[in-house]
């Protein structure tokens, strides 16, 4: 999670919301990919940290199935990212801060564990939520600090 937090901290430099993500190999230690939100930087509405990290991890392993891998992200994934998690066959998603307004891994929706889908990754929530939430609060309310 600390690597994802480092990524998130760089996102505001391009005007992007501070969300960072890391994909770990099946050994749980090897980093396959790192990413941060890049919507503002690239003008791409799908450039969420999770999607970019998943794309980069798939490129690194040379296949789209990321079976055995773990996505670590600072903010609970949205519905788009939850769909990408399911479709990439990640084994687990670990996230920091819950997203009560748009979260799709247990808060508002639970796309990643929907029993109607063919793949349901494990979800580990609330890992270092305070630092992740603090980055977001500072970004959206910079004058409060």
pTM: 0.95
Q: Which domains does the chain show, CATH number per domain?
A: 1-140 (3.40.140.10)
Please indicate if the annotation marks 10 as binding a ligand.
no
E strand or H helix that includes residue 10? helix 2-10
**Annotated binding residue at 119?**
no
Distance separating alpha carbons of residues 6 and 3, to the nearest angstrom: 5
Check the annotation: does 48 bind a ligand: yes
Exposed (0-12), middle (13-18) or buried (19+): which is 103, by Cβ within 10 Å? Answer: buried
Would you give the DSSP letter of residue 64?
A: S
Q: Can you tell me the distance from the alpha carbon of 43 to that of 3, in angstroms, rounded to the nearest whole number? A: 25
For the cut 90, the answer to whether the pLDDT of residue 142 exceeds it is: no
pLDDT at 144: 62
Q: pLDDT digits over 51-81, tens only?
A: 999 999 999 999 999 999 999 999 999 999 9
The catalytic residue positions are 50
């Amino acid at each position: 999670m600390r690597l994802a937090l480092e990524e998130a901290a760089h996102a505001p430099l391009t005007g992007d919301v501070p969300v960072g993500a890391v994909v770990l190999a099946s050994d749980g230690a090897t980093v396959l990919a790192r990413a941060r939100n890049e919507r503002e930087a690239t003008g791409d509405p799908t450039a969420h940290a999770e999607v970019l990290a998943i794309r980069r991890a798939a490129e690194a392993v040379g296949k789209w199935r990321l079976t055995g891998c773990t996505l670590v992200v600072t903010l609970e994934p949205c519905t788009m990212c939850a769909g990408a998690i399911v479709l990439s066959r990640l084994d687990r998603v670990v996230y920091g801060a819950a997203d009560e307004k748009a979260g799709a891994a247990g808060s508002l929706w639970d796309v990643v564990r929907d029993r109607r889908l063919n793949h349901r990754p494990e979800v580990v929530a609330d890992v270092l939520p305070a630092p992740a939430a603090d980055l977001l609060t500072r970004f959206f309310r910079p004058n409060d600090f």
